[in-house]
Amino acid sequence: MASPSNLLKLVIAVAVAAVFSLSLPLPALSAPAAGGGESLWKKMVLGSKPPRCVGKCLNCRPCTASLVVPEHRERKGFEADLNRREEDDSYYLLHWKCKCGNKLYQP
């Protein structure tokens, strides 16, 4: 068994190491660094990137990428009662479509 003086030294050493490690500055990840940090910034972005909609809207111009909320289908009858508690009706997945005017096209 360790003597009390050695145990006290160990506790002090651990405390000093903890304080020292917490005082070190953390690297900044909130914005890209100047001169080449752009690739790191792109890796940190969550979600999918918009599709290239060139030639996807037939001959309609301008054809742009747009985030779309899919239609919510209502379930009827017994199946609706069983699944009502399992689903949150306010949650919908977004997906990308190519949009020209008021028409949507698959990317």
**21 or 85: whose pLDDT is higher?**
21
**92 or 67: whose pLDDT is higher?**
67
Q: Is the pTM of this model over 0.85?
A: no
User: In degrees rounded to 5, what are phi and psi of residue 97?
Assistant: -135, 160
Closest CA to 53 of 66, 69, 68, 34: 66
Per-residue pLDDT reduced to its tens digit, 25-81: 766 555 555 555 566 666 666 667 888 999 899 989 999 999 888 776 665 655 555
> DSSP readout, 37-98?
THHHHHHH--SPPPPP-TT-STT-S--EEEEEPPPPPPP-THHHHHHTTT--TT----EEEE
